[in-house]
Structure 1
Amino acid sequence: MHWTFSDEQRALRDRALELAGELGRSDDLAARDRDGVFSRDDFRRCAAWGVLGSHVDRRWGGRGRGAVDTVLILEAIGYGCRDNGLTLALGGQMWSVQEPIEVYGSEEQKQRFLPRLCSGEWIGVHGVSEEHSGSDALALQTTARRVDGGYVLDGRKCYIGMAPHADVALVLANSDPEAGKWGVSAFLVEKGEGFSLSPPRAKSGTRTNPLGDLVFEQCFVPEENRLGGEGVGLSLFTHTIKWERAFIHAGHLGAMQRLLERCFEYSRQRRQFGRPIGDFQAVSHRIAEMRLRQETARLLMYNVAAMKDRGLDASIECAMAKLHIAECLLASATDAVRIHGARGYLEEFEIERELRDHLGGVIYAGTSDIQRNLIYDLLGR
């Protein structure tokens, strides 16, 4: 399969690259990585450009673009901007918060939440994971007890990207515990009484995308903030996770290309034993594998995007894209460290950060092993 982009799409990518070149220009990314500092300014700059609203209908503050064009934008930003945590934050909100609101939300909810999310005024997070329910995502302890006018939420969501900066959370909770996964409902919970955010939790990579917990203690949520009907949580989660699996790494496709180019240039400049290290197959073969991974990763992602734009289900294709791209990112980042030797191991050269940033990709949005399980199960349908 060969992708040919139109003149309009190439112009769109060029404009996104210009935006990417402006991001983080005035700050020290290495320092922010060490301190776990998120750049809300860059997040809002992306929102003002139209990144967050790219895939949202114009009626609700978006740009109404298709999945292919949106991936093209995110890939360009990941290529031109070295802040992998920022691109992860953009994708996390776009696919796991805005997408389900647009599909499952009432007209009032879309008008109330989506313009604020698309503009960057609000940061939205997706609250599913709990301490004892990781891959078994809907084995939830968080409860939603019905009361007059709404629900009272109690529980704790863990390992939530961007949680320390959340203005609103899309939360799954048990509204009918006896019904199991069929009793899970979804709620849009705004910051306020009974809803608190933990401090950032220290982690290995994408530190500029802080991770924390959402804590609900007798948190009242009005009925108009329930997203969809009671018990719709399973359907909403299944729909949402497909989009997240498929496109959460869209920005990181650009990072993979950036890393490939840097390694190739280094292999031509760095000399050992009187020759460029690229003359040695131990190096050249690694770079060849990096190129192969980058190409196959792009093909899988753009294939899924094209299928989504045609209204196709693409369940197995989403799982294959998530599995392959996450593993390719980790393998290529590991090769980059090896190619750079001691430089790759030192913080000052920023190669080891790429490895740390892509470690989590084989875990979040469904582990690689879960994707393998899904692919096998879907083959029989």
Structure 2
Amino acid sequence: MDFDLTAEQRDRFSGLVDAVRKQLGSPLREHPEGHFDREEWRTAASLGLTGLCLPAEYGGGGLGALDTALALQAFGRGCPDTGLVFGVAAHLLACATAVRDFADDLVRDELLTGMASGELVGANAITEDEAGSDASGLRTVAVRDGYDYVLDGEKSFASNAPVSDILVTYAVTDPAAGFLGITGFVVPRTLPGIEISTPLAKMGLAGCPAGRVRFTQCRVPARYRLGVEGQGQAVFQHSMRWERTCLFALYVGLMEEQLSRCVAHVRTRRQFGRPLGDFQAISHRIAVMSQRLESARLLLYRACWLMDQGRVDQTAVSLAKVAVSEAAIANGLDAIQIFGGSGYLVPTGIEQQLRDAVPSTLFSGTTEIHREIIAKEAGL
């Protein structure tokens, strides 16, 4: 059992952290529309981040789950705009993997090169007002009509949607078949019958725009179907395994940077004539933050390693997802306490780290859903 990274992995990680800091590391960058712009997206793409796990033949990095996670960890550590990191990860893991593994060859040739290069931005549109954790309760329908499917329905929360070029979405094609009656599609945004809202106002991850998507008699050529009809639930679960396993590495990177800043702060900040770090109440808080970070990191790396071995382990994925997301929130609260009043102020960026961490227990399956998975896999 080897817990060490290879020299190549360590070099790639440190080089990527440096490159991200140099090109995307300006603190508190102002977004005219409150979210990332295409220039920032193209910068991330130039570092290979939009195509990490896509095939090399399409311009991707051809990486496995662990190396993809390490790259997103480096991205999360070096970039202060966690919303941009999240948007890239959602594009890659929830959208591009579905196209990579389930689209037909012509559609793969049409879309994957652009997705890898960052020319095309993908949005994942599955959540509905009455179908969040219950993905089987979709109301959006797709009716076959000749060479097309006609989509009708509304999605309530689609990350990247306001700036997207393609939408990966899911609809009911056979209402009587339950979860076997859902089909996945990759839908070019330029098709008639698609309406996307302005970005939703959110507590955190402001750099990633999210919006509502309405399909009204939207005719989608059948070639854009993902997999066979009725395979949508399997397509979704496959892409979610990638997202739940790799995306949360960005929070490991965020926590690394956060902990580093906290340690530097308590070494230099003095109260009562002593550095803050001399006080046990502070030093122990730092120790607990380190414990959470390392525990979460090991669970995430293990889940990625199992995936690279071709082993589907739902418990490992759910344990990692819960551990990372809860650690990110708890460490965010501790960081604010360590920085005191300055941590509550926007210019330090500490309060933003907490706000960006809060939704991590909601997306990609709530903490409650993942604890249900863990309990069921344990035999309950």
Q: Is the TM-score greater than 0.5? A: yes
Match of 2:201 in 1: 202
Match of 1:275 in 2: 274
Match of 1:314 in 2: 313
Q: Distance in 1 between matches of 2:112 and 2:123?
A: 13
After superposition, the CA RMSD in angstroms is 1.6
Q: Distance in 1 between matches of 2:341 and 2:5?
A: 40
CA contact under 8 A between 1:172 and 1:185: conserved in structure 2? Answer: yes
Match of 2:21 in 1: 21
CA contact under 8 A between 2:124 and 2:158: conserved in structure 1? Answer: yes
Q: Distance in 1 between matches of 2:44 and 2:121?
A: 13
Give 3-state SS (helix, strand or coil) of 2:316's partner: helix
Match of 2:148 in 1: 150
CA contact under 8 A between 2:17 and 2:75: conserved in structure 1? Answer: yes
Match of 2:41 in 1: 43
- TM superposition shift of 1:64: 1.2
CA contact under 8 A between 1:163 and 1:211: conserved in structure 2? Answer: yes
Unaligned 5+ segments in structure 2 are none
Match of 1:3 in 2: 3
Give 3-state SS (helix, strand or coil) of 1:173's partner: strand
Match of 1:302 in 2: 301
- TM superposition shift of 1:28: 6.0
Match of 1:59 in 2: 57
Q: Distance in 1 between matches of 2:98 and 2:296?
A: 25
- TM superposition shift of 1:35: 5.2
CA contact under 8 A between 1:87 and 1:252: conserved in structure 2? Answer: no
Q: Deviations over 1:347-379 (max 9, x none)?
A: 121111111110100101111111101111112
The AA in structure 2 aligned to 1:204 is M
CA contact under 8 A between 2:251 and 2:325: conserved in structure 1? Answer: no
- TM superposition shift of 1:212: 0.7
Match of 2:215 in 1: 216
The AA in structure 2 aligned to 1:60 is Y
How many positions carry a matched residue from both structures? 379
- Quickly say closer, same or farther: Cα 1:35–1:225, change in 2 above 3 A: closer
Q: Distance in 2 between matches of 1:41 and 1:4?
A: 36
- TM superposition shift of 1:30: 5.1
The AA in structure 1 aligned to 2:65 is A
- TM superposition shift of 1:87: 1.1
Q: Stretches of 4+ moved more than 6 A in 1? A: none
TM-score (norm 1): 0.96
Match of 2:68 in 1: 70
After the TM superposition, which of the residue ranges 7-16 and 129-138 deviates more from structure 2? 7-16
- TM superposition shift of 1:117: 0.5
Match of 1:183 in 2: 181
Listed as ranges, the matches of 1:334-353 within 5 Å are 334-353=333-352
Match of 1:379 in 2: 378
Match of 1:108 in 2: 106
CA contact under 8 A between 1:174 and 1:185: conserved in structure 2? Answer: yes
Q: Deviations over 1:38-77 (max 9, x none)?
A: 1322221222222222211122331212222222211112
Q: Distance in 2 between matches of 1:375 and 1:165?
A: 36
Of residues 116, 119, 144 in structure 2, which corresponds to 1:118? Answer: 116
CA contact under 8 A between 2:123 and 2:168: conserved in structure 1? Answer: yes
The AA in structure 2 aligned to 1:271 is R
The AA in structure 2 aligned to 1:131 is D
The AA in structure 1 aligned to 2:124 is H
- TM superposition shift of 1:315: 1.5
After the TM superposition, which of the residue ranges 356-365 and 262-271 deviates more from structure 2? 262-271
Q: Distance in 2 between matches of 1:138 and 1:57?
A: 31
CA contact under 8 A between 1:20 and 1:78: conserved in structure 2? Answer: no
Match of 1:360 in 2: 359
- TM superposition shift of 1:309: 1.3
The AA in structure 1 aligned to 2:44 is C
After the TM superposition, which of the residue ranges 166-175 and 75-84 deviates more from structure 2? 75-84
Q: Deviations over 1:6-25 (max 9, x none)?
A: 22222211321232123335
Q: Distance in 1 between matches of 2:79 and 2:294?
A: 20
Match of 1:259 in 2: 258
Aligned identity (percent) is 37
Give 3-state SS (helix, strand or coil) of 1:138's partner: helix
After the TM superposition, which of the residue ranges 354-363 and 175-184 deviates more from structure 2? 175-184
Q: Deviations over 1:138-183 (max 9, x none)?
A: 2011010111211110111111111111110111001112222211
TM-score (norm 2): 0.96
Q: Distance in 2 between matches of 1:351 and 1:54?
A: 29
Q: Distance in 1 between matches of 2:379 and 2:110?
A: 42
Q: Distance in 2 between matches of 1:241 and 1:63?
A: 20
- Quickly say closer, same or farther: Cα 1:340–1:35, change in 2 above 3 A: farther
Give 3-state SS (helix, strand or coil) of 2:30's partner: helix
Match of 2:161 in 1: 163
- TM superposition shift of 1:2: 5.7
Q: Distance in 2 between matches of 1:235 and 1:266?
A: 47
